[in-house]
Structure 1
Amino acid sequence: MKNNKQNWFMKHKILTVIGIIFMIGIIGSATSSNKTTTSSSTSNNSTTKQDIKAKEEVAKIGTPVTDGKFEFTVKSIECGKSSVGASQYLTKEAQGQFCLLNISVKNTGDAAQSLFSSNQKLLNTQNQQYAADDTATMYASPNSNAWYSNINPGNSVEGSIVFDIPKDQTPITAELHDSAFSGGVKVNLQ
């Protein structure tokens, strides 16, 4: 009878060893994830400091800035237009007011690159983003390629990109991108 009532751990030596190894693995994993979280937090803090520094470095109107293969130069911005268009049939009315961002874009890369007005943004004082109005951009400058252009290396295009923003808003920053996935560059519009 004594043999039947042996300790469970003694009867199941293999299961006991596997259980101990499993528990050590869980404890090691938990300790390791805490260390990873700490170093991730430290990494995020340094990234945040870099982001703040980059945000402080905003170019001014007339200063060339580069994002990817494109060198952008904002020449001016004109707001307060209620409509744009070259004829009575090709006219668009603003929901609020149209702002025309007059820019020059040069391809500094070694291959052709497509410029899309839809990749460009305006920001107000609350950091709200306004997208370009492609139709208004086409109507405002029918002879310009600012809304879409395939730019060869060394070539540049000039034109106006049109944004429809509320009448009571003033854009303070342009955010310009060589593609939808680029980091972009900012230009102070004031």
Structure 2
Amino acid sequence: MHSNNPGHPGPYPNPYGHPAQRPPREPMPYHPQPAGKRRRGGCLTAALTGVAVLLVLGIVGTLFGDGSGGGDGTAAGRTGSAAAGESGRRSSGGGDDAGERRKPAQPGIGDVVRDGKFAFKVTKVRKGLSQVGEGFTASTAQGQYVLVYVTVKNIGDEAQIFDDSSQRLIDAKGRRFDASSGTAAVSLKDSNAFLNQINPGNSVKGILLFDVPKDAVLTAIELHDSPFSGGVTVALR
């Protein structure tokens, strides 16, 4: 079947004729949203957003606030601990100083000290002598003679010889002087310090003789019960 309208290919006639003659399509109707509704929706959204931001800021502030507080507390704790430690150290230092003050002083003149089988007590010191003895037993000092009076007691269980040459005099420079023996020592009256054998329980009084420089500042004497003993030190000042 052929169409009476040459512009329509189908079997049915085109009521509008040629495609170019079709009426234009009408646009879809546009219904704009009322302005009041848009404003209300925008305000609601902004309000919800503000609340959410405030909540987040509050949580963050709380967390940082706790951290800051913890930090302050830690710092305060550390400061307190440091102060306590310093106080403890000061107290400990004071205790140490007090302990040092409580330590007994070095034995001096009049104190009894012990070395090996002998107990010693220095009773007196004489300085500045230029000569000891009389007559043919007189001896002249190279510097000055120093006499140290000592009592020696045997506290052991067998006899022991007291040797004056084993004793040492010490000055402020740390110099050590040997005792003089021989004629000078023998010439001293009332001295039993020259190679005297002392039985257990017995004691003797002796005088130790030293020839030292005139400018020597004497500080101590080191006493021994034998040449090989450790010795004990007695202050002379």
- Alignment match, 1:75: 123
Q: How large is the RMSD of aligned CA atoms in angstroms?
A: 1.3
TM-score normalised by length of structure 2: 0.55
Task: Give the residue type in structure 2 aligned to 1:64.
Answer: V
Residue 154 (structure 2) pairs with residue 107 (structure 1): yes
Q: Of Structure 1 and Structure 2, which has the larger fraction of its residues in strand?
A: 1
Structure 1 residue ranges, 4+ long, deviating more than 6 angstroms after superposition? none
Query: Which structure 2 residues correspond to residues 148-159 of structure 1 after superposition, within 5 A?
Result: 148-159=195-206
Among candidates 47, 52, 66, match of residue 114 of structure 2: 66
Gaps of 5+ in 2: 1-103
Output one character per residue of 1:44-94: Cα deviation in whole Å (capped at 9) or x when no partner: xxxxxxxxxxxx963110000000000000001101000000x21111000
Bigger Cα Rg: 2
Q: Partners of 1:125 and 1:161 in 2: how far apart? A: 19
Quote how far apart the aligned CAs of 1:145 are: 1.4
Query: Which structure 2 residues correspond to residues 111-130 of structure 1 after superposition, within 5 A?
Result: 111-130=158-177
Q: Partners of 2:194 and 2:218 in 1: how far apart? A: 19
Gaps of 5+ in 1: 1-55
Q: Partners of 1:159 and 1:111 in 2: how far apart? A: 20
- Alignment match, 2:212: 165
Q: Partners of 1:152 and 1:81 in 2: how far apart? A: 33
- Alignment match, 1:90: 137
Task: Give the residue type in structure 2 aligned to 1:117.
Answer: D
- Alignment match, 2:52: none
Structure possessing the higher relative contact order (Cα contacts under 8 Å, 6 or more residues apart):
1
Q: Partners of 2:107 and 2:226 in 1: how far apart? A: 19
Quote how far apart the aligned CAs of 1:144 are: 2.4
